Each structure stands twice: as C-alpha cells, then as structure tokens.
Amino acid sequence: MKNHLQWAHEFLFSLNLSWVLIWMERGHPSWPMLVERSPHLMKIYGRLRIEDPPAVLDQVMWSFILAFLLFLLLRFIAQLTITRVLLCTFAGGLALGILPIFYLVFPSSAMGPSRVMPHTAPLLAETVCVLICGLLFYLKRLPISWAGCLAFVLLHFGLWGWMTSSYVSLQRYRHGLWNLGTWVSIAFYFGFPLIGFLSSVTWGLYVRKAWQMK
C-alpha cells in the first residue's frame, strides 16, 4: 500500500504539472496542433466520436504522455532524499495552488466566461489561505479532522472549477457515457480541478503516511 500510494502521488503530481504546461503551450501560436495535422490521429479522433474540437484530444493525449515521462523520471530518482522532501513539501503547494495561480495570472485562459478578473483580490486571498492551511497541515498544526480537510479541499476546487468554467453539461453529448470520446471530453473540461483535487488528496495521504513512518 505504501508503494501504491507513492506511485499514485507521483503520477498525479506529474499529471497536474503536465496539464498546466500543455494548456499553456497549446494556447501559443507556435503550438503544433498534432491531431489536426496527423491523418492517423484524425482517424483515432473520428473513431472515438469526440463531439468537441480536436484540441480536446490534443490536451488530454499530450498531458498524459508528458505525465508518464515525468512519472518515469520520478521513479528513477525516487530513492533520493531530495525527491522525498519535494514530494512532501513542494508537491503539496503545487497540488493546492497551481490551478488558482495559473488563472490569476492568465484569467483569459478559462474555457467559458471567466469570473476571475472581477474578483482577483478575494480569490487571491482564498488561495493564500488555502496554501497556509496546506503548510499547517504539513506541520501538523491544522486543527481540523481529515474529513474536514477533504471537505475544505473539495470546496476549494469546486469554487475554482466554477470560477473558471471548468465544467460542461453532460446532456450535450449525443453518444452518452458509454462512448470513450465522451470521457475524453469530460477529462478535458473537468480535468484541471479534478486532477488538482485528487493530487491534493494523495499528497495529504502521503504526508500522513510519512508521519507514521517517523
């Protein structure tokens, strides 16, 4: 279980970071839209019956590819002390803060109408508060239960998912949930807050496990 937890933490950390990097690069004019340029990938896109533009497959596919490469790198250096320290410290801050920080810096990157720019100050305060709570949790100074922590993190990512329009109505998909292409679209729209939430939870479990081993 210890190894499975560490692997899950490492992979979700890698996926969270990869999602942001690909999202940033995909918006750059020089980014090659490989799905549109590759006949083979366009065939896969068609067979999946994805009801959104090819950019959806681009984001999901390259995020997982980069995440897998970063995960292999972490596996290679997993036994180094600095790796374990980073997974306990930096990984937690990234899990909790990379989504809000990204949209505070690039509010126009939201998929739908962005509610971030008119509320920058309170959202920045909320982000700082969450990061401070994460630090207190790491230091075992946060005076709330594990269930309370989960609810707090869920509210945090729920808020940011709504503020950045990181969701979509499932009723728009004609092929339903039995279609793999629908799940690719769901991953695209819900990915950022969902990956952030799961990454934060696995980080918390990893830190709790580290406490028990001391």
Q: What is the mean pLDDT of residues 191-214?
A: 91
Q: What is the DSSP letter of 78?
A: T
Backbone φ/ψ region at 31: left (φ over 0), alpha (ψ -120 to 50), beta: beta
3-state secondary structure of 48: coil
Query: What pTM was estimated for this model as a whole?
Result: 0.90
Q: CA-CA distances (angstroms) from residue 124 to 115, 156, 157, 181? A: 13, 12, 14, 35
Could you report the per-residue pLDDT of 48-100, keeping only the tens digit for each? 888 888 888 889 999 999 999 999 999 999 888 898 899 999 999 999 999 99
Percent of the chain whose pLDDT exceeds 90: 57
Please enumerate in sequence order all residues whose Cβ is within 8 A of that of 182, keeping only pairs 6 or more positions apart, or say none: 50, 51, 170, 173, 175, 176
Q: What pLDDT score was predicted for residue 37?
A: 64
Instruction: Measure the CA–CA gap between 22 and 60, rounded to whole angstroms.
Output: 9
Number of helices (H), then strands (E), in the chain: 9, 0
Q: CA-CA distances (angstroms) from residue 54 to 28, 76, 77, 102, 212? A: 16, 33, 35, 23, 46
Candidate from 120-129, 169-178, 191-200 with smallest mean pLDDT: 169-178
Instruction: Measure the CA–CA gap between 121 and 119, rounded to whole angstroms.
Output: 6
